[in-house]
Structure 1
Amino acid sequence: MSKLLEFSGGDDFCPGGYVCPSPMDSILFLSLGHQVDVYFPSRKRSRINAPFVFSGEKVEEKKQASIEVLPDECLFEIFRRLPVGGQERSACAGVSKRWLMLLSSICRDELSTIKSGEASEPEEGGNATAMQIEPIKSDKKDGFVQSNVSEAETEVLDNKEGDGFLSRCLDGKKATDVRLAAIAVGTASRGGLGKLSIRGNNSFRGVTDSGLKAIGRGCPSLKALSLWDISTISDEGLFEVASGCHQLEKLDLCQCPGITDKSLMAIAKSCPNLASVTIESCLKIGNESLQALGKYCPNLKFITVKNCPLVGDQGIASLFSSAGNHLMKVKLQTLNISDMSLAVIGHYGEALTDLALINLQNINERGFWVMGSGLGLKKLRSLVITACQGVTDLGIEAVGKGCPNVKQLCLRKCTFLSDNGMVSFVKAAVSLESLQLEECHRISQAGFFGILVHSAGKLKALAFENCFGMKDLAFGVPALPPCNSLKSLSIRNCNGFGDASLAVLSRLCPNVVHLNLGGLNGVTDYGLLPFVQSCDAGLVKVNLSGCVNVSDKTISALAKLHGETLELLNLNGCGCVTDASLAAVADFCSVLRELDVSKSRVSDFGIAALAGGSAIQISLQILSLSGCVLASDKCLPYLHKLGNNLKGLNIQQCVGISHRGVDLLVERLWWCDILS
């Protein structure tokens, strides 16, 4: 072989001397078999991808220098000196998860004040210059960059403080620490993060204190924070929010068992702008938090405390004694408080405009009496009381006298309240405009008409629902003065209310424009028709769902008398309504927007008649035919004609309409939401 390598040969094979000047170059021979060796002289520079360098007989490994070999401490010092105002931080955050988390751990007061394009000032005699990093180019819109951080959508970063224009909501699996770090790093240049909502618990990689710390360090403009159903956070994360987010105005904590009074007290001390606080099902938050909120938050106006077993009279008393002069809206639900708390509210609630007391089982009649007698609720305008057994005639009368400016009253599940108490309240509360009673079974027709008579001509809305004490009148009623101020009347699922009571109402309520008689089985054409004829102002919204004894006679009269004002008509479950009603609606209801004839006797002919009305084709936006078994494929052309302006169509349980017909309708009315 050595002889062969020394052979010079002729010009026709390889001119110019030895085939291989150096014996080591014999590696360039390509072996094709046991008998043939062929040499191909290289015409291009060899491309070597392996990290080795051949030098003589020595083989050395080529070591590539990388910034990744630096410890976190060094990277931290580099990152905090990046120019403020450029895209360098966003570019670095897109390199890896490690870099992202390091950047998110830098507090605002640790950042250098270097601006983009400027040189850094030498530190301690040094001659350092600003580190310029070429930003990563990306085809993504909205400032997102391609990176190795698989879960983070790293946004363009500018470390100047924004005004809090951006909102972020993380639900379920999207709620992770990496995403929170990306939000903290990337929102500053686009107005700053103003609202953050985290809902749901990710059992695999959920939000922990590390994610909240990143928000606390990087989002000083945060104004609203909502944490719902998160069991993996504790006081440690909220401490960082309290330390860095001094502009916080709204805080919602719901089902966060790891949060205690310590962190909430820290937020109260560090966030003087706090105006709204909701604490729900937080088992470790108690009286100390409410005391701190009342003491350190002069702008606190709205507070909700629900299902917190550690909250008692001491916390409520401390809150109102300190913040009663600026608290405006308060909701207390399922708490272990007694009459003492209501006494404090009645005395110190000088600024209260809205008060909701729900499921407070330890409060008795004395508590409501003392609250009304405290004479501190002069500004109260809205009062909601639900499932409080202490509401009696004596207590509600005292509340009416102590709250002369109350305009809205809602009472639910007050089983000991009777007609005398309600009439006494209406007499005392001369400013009352809206009254809603639900599941108050001791209220009868006498109380109902007494409220109308003694409302001083100011009552605008009256609603009764599921009040089983309502029995239809079996005796004559003397002439009563009309309640001309009443605009909205709702009597739902009060089975005892029938034609006799409705006939009396027809003389008392001539100006009603919103009528809801849903679920009144005892109402027929005999009682409803006179009422419809007595409404002089023109009915706008009418709900007769479940009135199984109302027929076409009343509906046709309703369409003729109020067709120019009627915008909503609900006849769901009216089994006596047929095509004649739709024909009347098509002829007279020129401004009708919503029509529901579900589970009625409407057929293809009625739908055809409805489509024949040119005016209603323009105005009608929502049509429900659910459960109309008499409708078939023959009505599809008419539905298509109506559908030119429809936004919603319900044809569920229309067994006469085939699947092919539904598909054809969906294809033609692509702009309309169709339920099938």
Structure 2
Amino acid sequence: MSKIFEFSGHNEFFTGVPMYPSSKDSGPFLALHPHANAYFPPCKRARVSTPVVACEGLELKKKTTIEVLPDECLFEVFRRIHDGKERSACACTSKRWLMLLSTLRRDEIFSIKSIQPSEPKEMSDSSMKVDIKSDKNGLVQSTVAESKAAYQDAKVEGYLSRCLDGKKATDVRLAAIAVGTGNHGGLGKLSIRGNNSIRGVTDSGLKAIARGCPSLKALSLWNISSITDEGLCEIANECHLLEKLDLCHCPSITDKSLMAIAKSCPNLTSLTIESCSKIGNESLKAVGACCPNLKFVALKNCPLVGDQGIGSLFSTAGEVLTKVKLQTLNLSDMSLAVIGHYGVALTDLALTGLKNITERGFWVMGNGKGKGLQKLRCLSIIDCSGVSDLGIEAMGKGCPNLKQFSLRSCTFPSDNGLVAFAKAAGSLESLQLENCHRITQAGLFGILVHCGGKLKTLALENCMGIKDLAFECPLLSPCNSLRSLWIRNCPGFGDASLGILSKLCPKLVHVDFTGLHCITDDGLLNLVQSCEEGLVKVNLNGCVNLGDIAVSAIAKQHGETLEKLNLDGCGYVTDVSLEAIADHCSVLCELDVSKSRITNSGIVALANAVQLSLQILSLSGCAMVSNKTLPLLLKLGTSLVGLNIQNCPGISSSGVDSLVEKLWRCDVLS
């Protein structure tokens, strides 16, 4: 070995017989030069590999692979894979195989077209023996047991649901869903929300779902501009069990595909179309004529939908339609007339933003000939400038079974119309008024007096016309049916109105007076003392002039029934209120004293209450609560599932970390 290193310098070149009989034996010391019978130290590795030149008479052997087969041959191979797990495994091999498998229809799979058992339900274990036969092409037919499994798999209606949002919505994922769900019960519900800007969903992905998931019952497409009629028509051709279709912001879909859905999917029960600029009257006509099971229709912001479409829909499907929502459409009085005449099965109707409808349209709808809206139970009218007192009264008379009525952002209805409506609608149970500024104190009390004795819930919100006018109230019969009273953000509502309500509503259980700055302890005390049933939920959020007198009265008189109490923003509430709550409230679950004047002493009273078992406690913005309450909060935490201590400067970050660590079953907001 020492002779190897006997050369004198780096530049010396040695020729002669190789030192090692084989080049492999030289190891890392020396490298064989391809053109000289000499040795020299190895240089750096070449960046570009030189091509291998085959010697004369030497043939390079290529590995045989199934990838050399064209798609047609692979398709024939894949359709003979009857087992779903094996198909899924093949789909994981490459994107090419996945996309090929996604083009397979269920009826094209070889095992389904093979032997069909005559009586699969009565097939015994003895008949499930392996029976392998070869046909003329050498293809192996499936066993009787496999045929039975395939037969049952074809009968599956589909109970799986998948939802793709944003970047997850791609054709590859849809292809994987189409291949993978068939072996696990079949896809029943698919929702695609948003689109991938780089590799978004196209008609190819929807076609894969159509071919691989004939059990699809519900399809929702939201904010997808790349899907056209081609993809949706494939759904119509393959998914005949479709029951629910939801299209929102799909500008490339037209009447063509929706008409195909109507003709091929007779089980369609629910249709929602929103902001689809190319869908119009023709598709609605087809849906009404071809879908005998249609129950729900919602149309919003579709400029091509007009009176002709609504008229055709109700004239053909009016006997089955039960729920309809119409929003921001170019409709006239004619549409409401048709609804009033043909909507014999309607139970829920919502009309929003119909600017072209006048007073006459609502009057005609309420006075529809024949059965009209006899079954209507819920009516919602929002932002319709044409509604007036005359139209509201007509709706009350024409809908004898109406139980819920909501009127929002309508300018012209006044006290006269609402009182007339309350007299006519004898079955009314819930009335909600929002942004109706012509409603005054007289209208509010008139509704309670003439509601027919069935009104259970009354809600007023942002009604600026209500003023707290003091006047002598004659002896009026109380509304003993009213259980829930919501008066929110009506700045003119004060103690005088509460005094009258205390005489008219003795059976209140739920009270919500959010944002009423004018009510004080004296006004609320009258209402609290008049409630005979026992208050269960009380919301006084934003009532800045309420203090300990009213809260203590609520705790003492209704402590055995009170479950939820919200005192957020009641700046005059102190520890006195918490002590009363701790002494008298035995079933209280939720307590919110945010932005109040409570201190550590109030938390001590809550922690020492034996009968109290709070689940949610909010102390947000309580500046006088400090770290001294941490052991008390831990004691309360044995029953708490939610604790809010945001914006409490007296509680340090280390104290918050200690609470989060020890109250591991409680959600702590800090």
TM-superposed CA distance for 1:607, in Å, is: 1.1
**Which 10-residue stretch deviates more, 318-327 or 649-658?**
649-658
1:71 corresponds to 2:67 = no
Are the structure 2 counterparts of residues 297 and 131 from structure 1 closer, same or farther at C-alpha, using a change threshold of 3 Å? closer
Equivalent residue in structure 2 for 1:531, among 524, 527, 531: 527
Residue type at the aligned position of 1:126: N
Specify which of 321, 328, 331 is matched with residue 315 of structure 2.
321
Confirm or deny: 8 A CA contact 1:82 1:131 kept in the other structure.
no
**Structure 1 position 633, deviation (Å):** 1.0
Aligned 8 A contact 2:281 2:305 in 1 = yes
Question: Where do 1:439-478 residues align within 5 Å?
Answer: 439-478=435-474
Moved more, 412-421 or 162-171: 162-171
User: 1:52–1:62: 8 Å Cα contact kept in structure 2?
Assistant: no
In the alignment, which of 199, 204, 208 is matched to residue 202 of structure 2? Answer: 208
Give the structure 2 partner of residue 499 of structure 1: 495
Query: In 1, Cα distance between the equivalents of 2:134 and 2:475?
Result: 91
Q: Which structure 2 residues correspond to residues 551-630 of structure 1 after superposition, within 5 A?
A: 551-616=547-612, 619-630=613-624
CA contact (8 A) 1:162 1:189 kept: no
Aligned residues between the structures: 610
Choose from 471, 477, 481 the match for 1:481: 477
Deviation at 1:282, TM superposition (A): 0.8
* Equivalent residue runs for 1:45-60 within 5 Å: 58-60=57-59
Which of the residues 352, 357, 365 maps onto 2:351?
357
Tell me how far apart the structure 2 counterparts of residues 266 and 256 of structure 1 sit (CA, whole Å): 16
Residues 354-389 of structure 1 show CA distances to partners (whole Å, capped at 9, x for unaligned) of 000001000000000000010400000000000001
Q: 1:440 to 1:75 in 2, by over 3 A?
A: same
Amino acid at match of 2:393: E
Deviation by residue 1:591-613 (Cα, 9 ceiling, x = unmatched): 11111111111111111111111
Are 1:165 and 2:159 an aligned pair?
yes
- The 1:228/1:86 distance shift into structure 2, 3 A limit, reads closer
Of 100, 103, 125, which residue of structure 2 is paired with 1:102? 100
The verdict on how the C-alpha distance between 1:127 and 1:121 changes in structure 2, with shifts beyond 3 A counting, is same
Q: CA deviation at 1:589?
A: 0.9
Counterpart residue number, 2:544: 548
Shift of 1:158: 9.8
Amino acid of the structure 2 residue aligned with 1:350: V
Mapped to 2, the partners of 1:647 and 1:33 lie a distance apart of 75
Map of 1:127 onto structure 2: 138
TM superposition shift of 1:126: 2.7
Distance 2:195 2:332 in 1: 34
Deviations 1:140-178 (A, max 9, x none): xxxxxxxxxxxxxxxx99963422111111111111111
Q: Is it true that 1:419 corresponds to 2:415 in the alignment?
A: yes
Query: What is the aligned counterpart of 1:91 among 85, 89, 92?
Result: 89
Q: Is the contact between residue 216 and residue 241 of structure 1 (CA under 8 Å) also seen in structure 2?
A: yes
**Bigger Cα displacement from structure 2, 193-202 vs 358-367:** 193-202
Q: Deviations over 1:318-359 (max 9, x none)?
A: 000000000000000000101000000000000000000001
* 1:127 Cα offset (Å): 3.0
Cα shift readout 1:236-294 (whole Å, capped 9, x = no counterpart): 11011111111011111111111111101101111100001110111111111111110
Contact 1:176/1:211 (CA < 8 Å) preserved in 2?
yes
1:509 equivalent in structure 2: 505
Aligned partner of residue 219 in structure 2, secondary structure: strand
The code of the aligned residue for 1:308 comes to C
Q: Secondary structure at the match of 1:436?
A: strand
Q: Which amino acid aligns with 1:63?
A: K
Q: Which residue of 1 aligns with 2:339?
A: 345
Which one is further off, 298-307 or 229-238? 229-238
Judged with a 3 Å threshold, the aligned counterparts in structure 2 of structure 1 residues 79 and 401 are, in CA distance, closer, same or farther, namely same
After TM superposition, the structure 1 = structure 2 runs for residues 293-312 of structure 1, keeping only pairs within 5 Å, are 293-312=287-306
| Structure 1 range deviating more: 600-609 or 356-365 | 600-609
Q: What letter matches 1:72 in structure 2?
A: D
- Using structure 2 for the length normalisation, give the TM-score: 0.88
Assess if the C-alpha contact under 8 Å between 1:283 and 1:308 holds in 2: yes
Counterpart of 2:611 in 1: which secondary structure?
A: helix
Aligned to 2:125: none
DSSP 3-state at the match of 2:58? strand
Q: Give yes or no for contact 2:85–2:183 (8 Å, CA) kept in 1.
A: no
Query: Judging changes above 3 Å, is the alpha-carbon distance between structure 1 residues 33 and 540 closer, same or farther for their aligned structure 2 residues?
Result: closer
Mapped contact 1:161–1:220 kept (Cα < 8 A)? no
Name the structure 2 match of 1:142: none
2:248 aligned with 1:254: yes
1:437 to 433, 443, 467: 433
Question: What displacement does 1:53 show?
Answer: 13
- Matched residues in 2 for 1:27 and 1:287: separation? 85
- Aligned partner of 1:70: which letter? L
Please list the CA deviations of residues 109-148 of structure 1 after superposition, one character each: whole Å capped at 9, or x if unmatched.
32212589764763xx43322599xxxxxxxxxxxxxxxx
Letter in 1 for 2:668: I
- Contact 2:84–2:182 (CA<8 Å) still a contact in 1? no
How far apart are residue 188 of structure 1 and its match?
1.4
Q: TM-score, normalised on structure 1?
A: 0.87
Q: Deviations over 1:55-106 (max 9, x none)?
A: x9743322100000111111111111222x4522112111111001000011
1:298-336 per-residue CA deviation (whole Å, 9 max, x = no partner) reads 000001000111111100000000000000000000001
Q: Distance in 2 between matches of 1:675 and 1:399?
A: 48
Once residues 301 and 282 of structure 1 are traced to their aligned partners in structure 2, the CA distance between those partners, rounded to angstroms, is 21
Return the alpha-carbon distance in structure 2 between the equivalents of residues 339 and 391 of structure 1.
11
Counterpart amino acid of residue 140 in structure 2: T
Q: Tell me: CA distance 1:121–1:284, structure 2 relative to 1, closer, same or farther (3 Å).
A: farther
Q: How much is the aligned-residue C-alpha RMSD, in angstroms?
A: 2.4
1:5-43: per-residue Cα shift (whole Å, max 9, x none)? xxxxxxxxxxxxxxxxxxx985565375699x9xxxxxx
Matches of 2:88 and 2:31, distance apart in 1: 60
For residue 588 of structure 2, give the secondary structure of its aligned residue in structure 1: coil
Q: What's 2:639 paired with?
A: 645
1:138 match: none
Question: In 2 relative to 1, CA 131–321 (structure 1 residues): closer, same or farther, beyond 3 Å?
Answer: closer
Distance 1:508 1:284 in 2: 53
Name structure 2 gaps, 5 residues minimum: 1-19, 38-50, 116-127, 144-149
Post-superposition CA distance 1:576-596 (Å, at most 9, x none) = 101111111111111111111
Percent identity, aligned pairs only, is 69
Alignment correspondent of 1:273: 267
